[in-house]
């Protein structure tokens, strides 16, 4: 029982990372109906950036804040320079461009920072929180940060004029433009937010999975699974799906198939959900207009 609760708890910690990654994916999906395959590598690159800052002697939270801001700017720039020219291209072209972006970031990280596995600091060190014996301090901290991010994103979209404008631009670009919303910029800000959230996910994941240029491939896959499970057009569903996948992955890995084939859990979830309930648990059913 103890062991079970321990697995459950560490599943929740990574689940929080998957949840906010899935949220970042959904943010871009809602606006463009595209899934950003480069999200993971962008997050990895941001995490390396934070590592570099800390290596230069910056304290954790200052490096954290700087990384989030720079990632936001980077996301906006990428949308403007790379993604925008393909706005009207078919899905295949967009997917190829995203794969290209992912390859570039992976290569860039390898070139700048090397391919060796590095450890990454956590701000939540020391004794476990609240006498919680099942979670390390970092795991509790990661869950707390994920929940904070979810709450902030919810508040941003629910209570701020900019959030409202972004939702409008995603739902009905033509009408939004008619009432004076700059739809193009809303998309760019969406990319910036997704990149910033991804950076936080990367920094929360890195102390657990360690830092290397390929660290995000698995995490991105689980986030895909979480987003698909919850419904790729529902932010709430995707976040819940992320947590669920984190727990499921850990439990199935520990008790059913063994930790070394855990990635196939994500494959099974994705294929299973798409076969039995393509809209996910909380997504809207898609109806195509002929």
Partner 1 sequence: MSGSSGSQRFAATLAVLACALAFPFLASGYHLYQGAQVLILAIALLGLNLLTGFNGQISLGHGAFFAIGGYGAAILTAKFGVPYWAAIPIASLVCFGAGFLFGFPALRFGGLYLALATFALAVATPQILSYKGFDAWTGGSQGVLLAKPHAPFGLLNADQWIYLVCLLCAAALYWAARNLATGRIGRALIAIRDQPIAAETMGVNAALYKTTCFGVSALYAGVAGGLSAIAVGFVSPESFGLSLSLSFLVGIVVGGLASLGGVLFGALFIEFVPNLADQLSVNFGESAKALPGAIYGLLLILLMAAMPTGVAGALRAVARVFGRGFASRRQSGIEGGGAASASREM
> If we measure between CA atoms, which residue out of 185, 207, 1, 220 comes closest to residue 75?
185
Least distance between partner 1 and beta carbon 57 (Å): 25
Cβ 184 vs Cβ 3: under 8 Å: no
Q: Which two tokens stand for residue 22?
A: 């899935």
Hey, CA dihedral for 233, 236, 238, 241, is it positive or negative? negative
Q: Residues 58 to 87: which contact partner 1 by CB under 8 A?
A: 82, 85-86
| Among 70, 137, 217, 281, interactor with partner 1 by CB under 8 A | 217
Q: Which is nearer to partner 1, 195 or 232 (CB)?
A: 232
Which segments of 36-172 does DSSP mark as H helices, in order?
39-55, 60-78, 91-113, 137-159, 161-171
Q: Does 101 bind partner 1 (CB under 8 A)?
A: yes
Q: Which two tokens stand for residue 97?
A: 């461009």
Whose tokens are 């700048």? That residue is 112
| Among 54, 77, 144, 263, interactor with partner 1 by CB under 8 A | 263
* Strand partners of residue 211: 118
Q: Does 21 bind partner 1 (CB under 8 A)?
A: no
| Among 54, 66, 77, 104, interactor with partner 1 by CB under 8 A | 104
Phi, psi of 132 (to 5 degrees): -75, 110
From 171-179, 186-194, 202-210, 218-226, give the range in contact with partner 1 by CB under 8 A.
Answer: 218-226
Q: Does 274 bind partner 1 (CB under 8 A)?
A: yes
| DSSP assignments along 229-288, one per residue | HH-TT-HHHHHHHHHHHHHHHHHHHHHTS-GGGTHHHHHHHHHHHHHH-TTTTTPPPP--
Q: Does 262 bind partner 1 (CB under 8 A)?
A: yes
Least distance between partner 1 and beta carbon 264 (Å): 5
Q: Which is nearer to partner 1, 101 or 203 (CB)?
A: 101
Phi, psi of 118 (to 5 degrees): -120, 150
| Among 174, 178, 287, 290, interactor with partner 1 by CB under 8 A | 290
Site residue total, partner 1 (CB under 8 A): 50
Q: Residues 167 to 206: which contact partner 1 by CB under 8 A?
A: none
Binding footprint of partner 1 on the chain (CB under 8 A)? 33-35, 37, 82, 85-86, 89-93, 95-97, 99-108, 110-111, 114-115, 217-218, 221, 224-225, 228, 258, 260-264, 266-267, 270-271, 274-275, 278, 288, 290
């Amino acid at each position: 029982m103890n062991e079970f609760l321990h697995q459950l708890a560490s599943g929740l910690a990574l689940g929080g990372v998957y949840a906010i990654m899935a949220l970042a994916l959904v943010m871009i999906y809602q606006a463009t109906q595209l899934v950003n395959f480069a999200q993971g590598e962008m997050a990895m690159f941001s995490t390396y950036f934070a590592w570099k800052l800390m290596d230069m002697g910056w304290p954790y939270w200052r490096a954290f804040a700087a990384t989030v801001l720079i990632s936001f700017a980077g996301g906006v720039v990428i949308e403007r320079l790379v993604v925008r020219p393909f706005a009207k291209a078919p899905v295949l072209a967009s997917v190829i461009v995203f794969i290209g972006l992912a390859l570039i970031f992976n290569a860039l990280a390898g070139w700048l920072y090397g391919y060796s596995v590095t450890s990454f600091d956590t701000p939540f060190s020391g004794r476990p929180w609240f006498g919680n014996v099942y979670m390390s301090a970092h795991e509790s901290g990661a869950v707390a940060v994920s929940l904070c991010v979810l709450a902030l994103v919810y508040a941003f979209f629910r209570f701020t004029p900019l959030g409202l404008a972004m939702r409008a631009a995603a739902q009905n670009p033509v009408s939004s433009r008619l009432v004076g919303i700059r739809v193009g910029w809303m998309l760019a800000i969406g990319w910036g937010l997704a990149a910033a959230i991804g950076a936080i996910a990367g920094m929360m994941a890195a102390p657990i999975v360690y830092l290397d240029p390929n660290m995000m491939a698995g995490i991105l896959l689980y986030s895909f699974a979480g987003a698909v499970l919850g419904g790729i057009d529902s932010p709430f569903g995707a976040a819940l799906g992320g947590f669920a996948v984190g727990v499921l992955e850990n439990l199935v890995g520990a008790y059913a198939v063994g930790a070394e084939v855990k990635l196939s859990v994500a494959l099974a979830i994705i294929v299973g959900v798409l076969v039995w309930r393509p809209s996910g648990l909380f997504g809207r059913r898609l109806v195509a207009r002929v």
